[in-house]
Amino acid sequence: MNILIIQILRIGDALQLVPVIKGIKQVFPQSRLCLLTSRLGASILGGQEEIDEIFTLHKEQMANLLITGNKEDILLSVEQLRSDLHEVGAVKWDWVINFSYTFSSALLSFILDAKHRSGFTANKNRQYLAKEKWFAYSLASFMNRRYSNFNWVDINKNILGLPSVPHPPLIVPKHGDVARVSALLQKAGFENKKILGLHPGASRAYKRWPLQKFADLGRAFVQKHGYKVIIFGDETEKGPCKQLKSYIGNDAEDLSGQTTLDELKAFFSLCDVLVTNDTGPMHLASAVGTSIVSLFFSTHFIETGPYGA
């Protein structure tokens, strides 16, 4: 049985698929389970033993070519899409499952050769539709999230009719990555110390706890409980992270913009607790089994919070 999952959205969306991927494999252990995703999704889910093959869609590269408006770039984008879909389009799929909520992903689901489709898809009359009642529920919840009492993992599980899915920990960092980051922490003087992770960034300002609050919390953990602090963030968050380190002092290490996803998994696994805004790394920390304190302000924590929290 050939099963294909389409997920071309964000880090958190990809990570919330992990329990469902494991649940599918539990029900269909002999199936060939594949994934069509972005390069970011491939880097996140590439180590999952349940996934037999990953097909990569270079959507960011194609988008960058399209926005130029240049005819040659548009043709290059079309050629890239044709190349990306060549292998996945050659397979006769028994079941295509689209967990992305975009028109482009619905078209992908439609054009692939599949006996059965779940999730968002299209038909020959150019209509976009979802046959499952739970997928219809998920679409309705976008505009009424305060009334939704289901985590996104459970919604996806119910879309497919799975009896159950596992809870974290779900991802095991590579032994080599853990050994390497452990050596780095030892060199920084963090050996045999309790570690507090802080992730002060988020994609939107309304998702961010004030930086001074993170600083006050970090100093309290250092002064009252003897913790060391690791500050996490991506390249765009280096400024605030550097400022946060200056607030906390020498007991903090700023790793913003310095970690790969695999290294981030390893660092999170070595933290005693992570305090974070509502971000993709929050789901990554949960997936590796780290104790986390997640800060939700305007977003709906029941739907998008760490699974099993």
The pLDDT of 147-174, averaged and rounded, is: 90
145 and 185 inside one domain:
no
209 and 135 inside one domain:
no
235 and 143 inside one domain:
no
What average pLDDT does the chain have? 90
> How many domains, in total, are found in the chain?
2
In a domain, 309, yes or no: no
pLDDT of residue 101: 81
The residue from 125, 160, 195 where one domain ends is: 160
* Residue 68 or 231, more confident: 231
Q: What is the pLDDT of residues 77-105, one digit of tens each?
A: 889 889 999 999 999 999 999 988 888 88
148 and 244 inside one domain:
no
pLDDT of residue 182: 94
> What H or E segment, with its residue span, contains residue 276?
strand 273-277
Does the pLDDT value for residue 171 go beyond 70? yes
In a domain, 243, yes or no: yes
Domain of 90, CATH number, reads 3.40.50.2000
Q: Distance of CA 242 to CAs 120, 232, 249, 263, 266, Å?
A: 42, 10, 10, 20, 22
19 and 65 inside one domain:
yes
Output the CA angle 250-195-276, nearest 5 degrees: 95
In a domain, 66, yes or no: yes
151 and 181 inside one domain:
no
pLDDT > 70 fraction of the chain, expressed in percent and rounded: 99
In a domain, 275, yes or no: yes
Contact residues for 37 (Cβ-Cβ < 8 A; gap 6+): 6, 7, 8, 14, 45, 54, 55, 56, 57
Q: What is the pLDDT of residues 245-268, one digit of tens each?
A: 999 999 999 999 999 989 999 999
Q: Collapse the DSSP code of 183 into the 3-class scheme (helix H, G, I; strand E, B; otherwise coil) and give the result.
A: helix
pTM of the model: 0.85
What is the band of 240 on the pLDDT scale with cuts at 50, 70, 90? very high
The pLDDT of 38-60, averaged and rounded, is: 89
In a domain, 21, yes or no: yes
149 and 196 inside one domain:
no
CA distance 260 to 12: 16
What is the four-CA torsion angle of 264, 267, 269, 273, rounded to 10 degrees?
-110
pLDDT > 90 fraction of the chain, expressed in percent and rounded: 58
The residue from 160, 188, 221 where one domain ends is: 160
153 and 239 inside one domain:
no
Enclosing domain of residue 259: 175-304
In a domain, 167, yes or no: no
> What H or E segment, with its residue span, contains residue 118?
strand 114-119
Q: Collapse the DSSP code of 185 into the 3-class scheme (helix H, G, I; strand E, B; otherwise coil) and give the result.
A: helix
In a domain, 113, yes or no: yes
Does the pLDDT value for residue 144 go beyond 80? no
Does the pLDDT value for residue 178 go beyond 70? yes
